[in-house]
Amino acid sequence: MLRKMIYKPGASPKDGSLCVAETNSESVPFEVKRVYYSYGVQEGVIRGHHAHKTLQQILICAYGKIEITLDDGKGRINSYVLDDPSVGLYVGPSTWRTMKWLISDSVLLVLASDHYEATDYIRDYDMFIESIDPKES
């Protein structure tokens, strides 16, 4: 689900803009415990290839253009192009994700609901599919 960050235009066009992401708000529906970013990635590179058991994230393309593909394991696959730093994409638990750099040196900023925990990752797609409860929709 796309989330709009709180947008604060500068006093004049030369001042630029400011976007704010506040914890436990409409733009970020969880407490942020970790922030990280990926950069220096060349066009065409696909990263991700994993899901999380409990982690929630907001993905923001702070610079450039990145395509995010989300798979719920039940046949629903959606792709989103992030190219506006005032827009974040919410990615909840049990969602397989890939991130494809459409422009070299794009920057992907991630707000995460928890600290890094290796055991929260599902890195094998077949195991991801097996972990999905078909009764949940």
Phi, psi of 70 (to 5 degrees): -115, 135
Q: Are 1 and 90 in contact (CB under 8 A)?
A: yes
CB-based contact 16:8 (threshold 8 Å): no
Q: What is the DSSP letter of 106?
A: -
Q: Which candidate in 49, 50, 52, 115 is catalytic?
A: 50
Q: Establish whether 49 is a catalytic residue.
A: no
How many alpha carbons lie under 13 Å from residue 100 in its C-beta half-sphere? 9
Give the DSSP H or E segment for 128: helix 125-131
Active-site residues: which are they? 50
